[in-house]
Amino acid sequence: MLRSLHMKLVLIMVLLVVSLMTIAGAFLVNSVNRFFLNDFYAQMSEVFGEPAFVRDLTTPKEGETDGVQALDQVLQAYVGELGVDGRNRDYYILDGKTGSYLAGSDDKNGPYLEMTPNLLCAMNQGEEGNRSDMTAAYLDLAIPIQRGGQDYIIYILDQRATVQELNSQIFQLIIEALFFGLVISVLLSFLLSRAMVTPIGALTRGAKRVAEGDFDHRIQVSSHDEIGVLTGAFNDMAGQLQTTIQEVENERTKLSTLFLHMTDGVVAFNRSGEVIHSNPAAEEMLNMPIPVGGAVGYDDLFGEIASLDTVLNLEGDCLDSETVRGDRILLLLLVPFDREKQAGVLAVIHDVTQQVKNETMRKEFVANVSHELRTPITNIRSYAETLAENPDLPPDMMASFLGVILNESDRMTHIVRDLLALSRFDSGHSEMNLTEFPFGEVLRDSYQAVLLEAQRHGHVLKLMGDGDLPAVRADRERVLQVIMNILSNAIKYTPDGGRILMMAGRTQDRVWLEVEDNGIGIPKEDRERIFERFYRVDKARSRESGGTGLGLSIAQEIIQRHEGVLTLVDREGPGTTVRMELKIGGPQL
Ligand code: ADP
């Protein structure tokens, strides 16, 4: 850059100096030539305009025999005025008809004179030949005269030696000036290029640093010329660039944070189907790593739903489809972005597993509720109809029918009560009345409450480990309700003469209770669903024993509200063990 700019400047200066010198030289030479030309003819016309001289030339002396000699004498008398020096300028007396040499100041060259246009003009037309151009090698003048009836031509020839000498001096001068001019121009161009290149160099270094990403760098503005203005503009541009890049960076960070924490999965593909972006949610939903630019591409992930070309050329906004991946149900939106350029495709993945599950559960729940309520209503109606149609039924039969009606309406009341309780939990309207009470006390109360019923069925009911239990913070009534539910299930689902154990204990921050029976047990496949609403292992049996299938769901809700745990203990052998855990300090409400 420096070299090239320097060379350019040198070249410009050299060309400038050379052309200036050439023009000046040409003007000078031209002027000198013209001056000499004009001076020569002016001098000649002055001398030949003198009447005395003309008379001397044209009038023969008395008794003159040799006209040529007489002319020669006249001309010799005038050599001073004519500037004839016998070296550069000579006079010649020529024959007016043939132009042959008769006499003159230069005998040596006289006989060999060249027939110049001026000479020919004087010879042929008898007129004064006094024209010459500046480029000719000589200056001449041919004047035809008559003397004593004889025609002569007075011919003055100047070899222009003075002019040529002067020209060569001018030429030499110009060459010298050119030499000095070139030296000065090289020096000047060097200084000039330094003056220009230094700030340009600073600008270039600054531009490089900015190009490398150092947007804080500012170049010092050291002059107010165009380069100074350019430097200022560059600094402004770098500042502007810094702000813009910062804004873009902020926007990018915002977007990637958003992507990172989005619950929806997002995968972006370029037009060739390579992954250009993916977030953790997408990897989790599709259950595979999706590295950017990795081996996994569009076709591997969504090829079976729609080809990349189809999505890129989509007419509508997006293509949506539901797909099942593993145990998840995913709603997939495929959107082409930057449509005109067909830049790529964005896949937005929404996990609708829970939604679909909830919807199914809601439908099942509604079906269950209607079924559960329809059975007692049908029973009540048919017994009531029988009673209404047969007023004469025996009193004991009537009493038994009425008993069924009362039982069924009790069942309905239970169901409705349990449903209301659940709905209150669902809507969050169920207030918790948290108090501190000894856990062992609730165990003993529930033990006492079911003891009679257990004995009625011939069960052995035992309470163990209740002695050394701390006080807990919980809703006493509800905890009691849960324990009673577990105990009454144990009594219900254990054939008479069974054994029911209540075992309690504590860990560092929890108390626990396990109710173990040796009853009919719960088959493995039903264990997971036992806490679902209306779920019962053996519907007929459960209904027979007055169960609604809602007891454990409610119990589960209550314990969860206490941030505790209610589970079935996985164990070998017949019977069932239900475990309940509660935080000693109570829930963090
Ligand atoms: P239900 O009112 O029908 O007893 P629950 O919600 O209390 O409803 O219990 C759900 C189902 O779980 C019961 O129908 C029964 O099939 C099963 N179950 C609960 N506890 C026991 C147990 N101790 N032994 C065997 N089966 C049980």
pLDDT digits (tens, 9 = 90+) for 437-482: 999 999 999 999 999 999 999 999 999 998 889 999 999 999 999 9
Q: Is residue 222 predicted with pLDDT exceeding 80?
A: no
State how far the Cα of 75 lies from the Cα of 93, in Å rounded to an integer.
Answer: 9
State the pLDDT at residue 542.
67
* C-alpha closest to that of 446 among 418, 412, 485, 396: 485
517 C-beta closer than 6 A to ligand 1? yes
State how far the Cα of 529 lies from the Cα of 536, in Å rounded to an integer.
Answer: 9
State how far the Cα of 338 lies from the Cα of 417, in Å rounded to an integer.
Answer: 58
State the pLDDT at residue 375.
87
Q: Is residue 545 predicted with pLDDT exceeding 80?
A: no
State the pLDDT at residue 480.
95
Output the CA 434–ligand 1 centroid distance in Å. 28
Total H helices, total E strands in the chain: 17, 16
Pocket test for ligand 1, best of 489, 491, 529, 571 (most atoms within 8 A of CB): 489
446 C-beta closer than 6 A to ligand 1? no
Torsion 111-113-119-123 (CA) sign: positive
DSSP tag of 346: E
Reported as a pLDDT band with limits 50, 70 and 90, residue 386 is very high
Q: Which residue owns the Cα nearest ligand 1 atom 8?
A: 549
Strands 319-325 and 328-337: antiparallel
* C-alpha closest to that of 470 among 583, 374, 313, 314: 583
Q: Is residue 189 predicted with pLDDT exceeding 60?
A: yes
Average model confidence (pLDDT) across the chain: 89
Pocket test for ligand 1, best of 415, 482, 487, 493 (most atoms within 8 A of CB): 493
Residue with tokens 């495929």: 334
- Which atom of ligand 1 is found nearest the CA of 543? 3
Output the CA 176–ligand 1 centroid distance in Å. 124
Q: What is the pTM of this model?
A: 0.52
522 C-beta closer than 6 A to ligand 1? yes
pLDDT digits (tens, 9 = 90+) for 560-569: 999 999 999 9
Give the residue ranges of DSSP H helices in 313-394.
353-389
Residue with tokens 């160099």: 201
- Residue 183 exposure: Cα atoms within 13 Å on the Cβ side: 5
Q: Which residue owns the Cα nearest ligand 1 atom 25?
A: 521
* C-alpha closest to that of 134 among 110, 92, 164: 164
* C-alpha closest to that of 294 among 277, 309, 316: 277
The answer to whether 370 and 344 have CB atoms below 8 angstroms apart is: no
Tokens of 390: 């047969």
Q: Which residue owns the Cα nearest ligand 1 atom 23?
A: 490
Reported as a pLDDT band with limits 50, 70 and 90, residue 2 is very low
The answer to whether 338 and 298 have CB atoms below 8 angstroms apart is: no
488 C-beta closer than 6 A to ligand 1? no
Integer angstrom CA distances of residue 280 from 33, 289, 290, 455, 569: 96, 9, 9, 58, 35
Higher-confidence position of 38 and 548: 38
Is residue 282 classed exposed, middle or buried when 0-12, 13-18 and 19+ CB atoms within 10 A define those classes? Answer: buried
490 C-beta closer than 6 A to ligand 1? yes
- Which atom of ligand 1 is found nearest the CA of 578? 23
Amino acid, single-letter form, for residue 18: V
State how far the Cα of 104 lies from the Cα of 147, in Å rounded to an integer.
Answer: 16
The answer to whether 486 and 447 have CB atoms below 8 angstroms apart is: no
Q: Is residue 159 predicted with pLDDT exceeding 80?
A: yes
Q: Is residue 541 predicted with pLDDT exceeding 80?
A: no
State the pLDDT at residue 343.
87
State the pLDDT at residue 248.
93
- Which atom of ligand 1 is found nearest the CA of 549? 8
Reported as a pLDDT band with limits 50, 70 and 90, residue 426 is confident
pLDDT digits (tens, 9 = 90+) for 69-108: 888 988 998 989 888 888 889 999 999 888 889 999 888 8
Q: Which residue owns the Cα nearest ligand 1 atom 20?
A: 489
Q: Is residue 53 predicted with pLDDT exceeding 70?
A: yes
Integer angstrom CA distances of residue 41 from 37, 44, 69, 160: 6, 5, 26, 13
Output the CA 355–ligand 1 centroid distance in Å. 27
Strands 499-506 and 460-464: parallel
- Which atom of ligand 1 is found nearest the CA of 552? 6
pLDDT digits (tens, 9 = 90+) for 287-306: 999 999 888 999 999 988 89
Share above pLDDT 70 across residues of the chain, in percent, rounded to a whole number: 98
Output the CA 574–ligand 1 centroid distance in Å. 15
State the pLDDT at residue 570.
87
Reported as a pLDDT band with limits 50, 70 and 90, residue 337 is confident
State the pLDDT at residue 404.
93
User: DSSP E strands: which ranges in 339-395?
Assistant: 344-351
